[in-house]
Amino acid sequence: MTTRSSNGRPWTFYALAAFFTLFVLFLYGPMSAIFILSFQGPTGGLTFPMNGVSLNWFKALVVQQRSGDFVGSFSRSIVLAIIVLTITVVISIMAGLAFRYRFRGATAVFYMAIASLIMPGLLLGLGVGLMFQFAHVSPAWFSSALGAQLTWTLPFGLLIMFAVFSRFNRTYEEAARDLGASPWQTLRLVVLPILLPGIIGVALFGFTLSYDEFPRTLIPIGSRNTLPLEIWAMTTDVTSPALYALGTLTTAVSFVVIAVALTSIAVIQRRRARRQRGRTPGLLGDA
């Protein structure tokens, strides 16, 4: 018999909870160091101790310094992320719909997507760079880097759509058809709206994976950097806590995007959730 404490939980609960807490601290702890240091005083250095508190380094970011073009790379990253998110959503939805059928080559495409995911990013970047070089086309953030990033985001999008479609109850489609909807109407009025949480998930992945993407983008980037590459350039040349300020800012942007996406999913699910006992509901769509 397991010994239980007064509220009915075995000792293992407390042990595991402690482990979990340590893990969460492990995840968030170091970032908090950066966060704190970004408010380093003007005379302070890259590590502790703190020499006063200021917004100096945040200001330093906006001023175009010799060590980086932050505003430019930041806006480029955002634009690229939005483009990647749009393309990923559209292509993932289409591919997800395709895989509901049996068709020749399905397994091959599937494995190609998985292989693309597992392949080391730098190598893929190398290949894309070579391709553009042989084609005598200059690489650029909106062409070669975009393509390289898609090889990372599309497989994730595809896997999410698989998970979402497999949980989707086809009876809804039948009901729509029974009520007179054409296949296109069924898709537009029933299937896609019901799958909206999953689609938001794909969009979230598309945006954040692109916004933070580094290995694949490194080689085919062209002449203008995205933000992660600017950061990378700075790390090899770290001279000021401006890097930490940048880290704080970019993390804040990520948090905002995540919060928006997750809140919308939660709101949608709330409205539609049926009361089900004991099952872990799907985060991205339990229709």
Residue 217 near residue 149, CB atoms below 8 Å: yes
User: By CB under 8 A, how many residues form the interface with other proteins?
Assistant: 127
Distance of closest approach, residue 126 Cβ to other proteins, in angstroms: 6
Residue 223 binds to other proteins (criterion: CB under 8 A): no
What is the distance between the alpha carbons of residues 140 and 263, in angstroms, rounded to a whole number?
A: 34
CB atoms within 10 A of CB 1: 4
Residue 102 binds to other proteins (criterion: CB under 8 A): yes
Among 3, 6, 43, 171, binds other proteins (CB under 8 A): 171
**Nearer Cβ to other proteins (68/147):** 147
Among 115, 137, 256, 267, binds other proteins (CB under 8 A): 115
Among 53, 55, 138, 174, binds other proteins (CB under 8 A): 174
* Binding to other proteins, residues 41-100 (CB under 8 A): 46-49, 90-92, 94-95, 97-100
What is the distance between the alpha carbons of residues 142 and 114, in angstroms, rounded to a whole number?
A: 24
Residue 177 binds to other proteins (criterion: CB under 8 A): yes
Stretch that binds other proteins, among 56-64, 67-75, 78-86, 203-211 (CB under 8 A): 203-211
> What are the structure tokens assigned to 71, written together?
């505003």
* Binding to other proteins, residues 255-274 (CB under 8 A): 255, 257-258, 262, 268, 271-274
Letter string b/e over residues 180-210, b meaning 16 or more CB atoms within 10 A of that residue's CB: ebeeeebbeebbeebbbbbbbbbbbbbbbbb
Residue appearing with tokens 């975009």: 146
**Closest Cα partner for 158 from 117, 217, 103?**
117
